[in-house]
Chains A and B, each alone.
Chain A
Amino acid sequence: DQQVKQNSPSLSVQEGRISILNCDYTNSMFDYFLWYKKYPAEGPTFLISISSIKDKNEDGRFTVFLNKSAKHLSLHIVPSQPGDSAVYFCAALENNAGNMLTFGGGTRLMVKP
């Protein structure tokens, strides 16, 4: 049973436009949600996170939105740049479960020049 799902395996966006990556979850006990970016042949790199008590967190070009009632979060990248092309993983954790991350399957973002 997948508790964190990323239903779009890939997304293609033009440079300068907005990229929106989506993530759904089923476990209402999750306290934090994180986004990681992964380039080929490298490990995942932490990008941005949000606590379950918030509905928005912004860091430069990256904004994460959380809709708890819908059990849905999204990562917005504005403006998208070719260097943003990577696989993006959504992850979630329960504070009382030892900081263990549950990952989604990833979305491959391609930003075209």
Chain B
Amino acid sequence: AQSVAQPEDQVNVAEGNPLTVKCTYSVSGNPYLFWYVQYPNRGLQFLLKYITGDNLVKGSYGFEAEFNKSQTSFHLKKPSALVSDSALYFCAVRALNSNSGYALNFGKGTSLLVTP
């Protein structure tokens, strides 16, 4: 089964410091990996994806993610955190659904808190 794991329930970082939100994956075949962000009382917003190619993927709002095949990881990073980055972050993997077609399997989510 295609799955992702987010080992941290919460990440705290001071504004201006670099941030990392961790994600590891377990897939058979080539992984298609995604990061989404959810602000309070909102839907999920797409940040970035890895399909193939460069291991460093750049996305929205200054976020980037590093695909590491040997460590089966896809960590989300940002060089300098903003208070407005505080939100819930989900890693996801495309999976072939047992019924029919493809869908996304989400990790449990990591709450990011950036303090002034």
Q: Do A and B come from one complex?
A: no
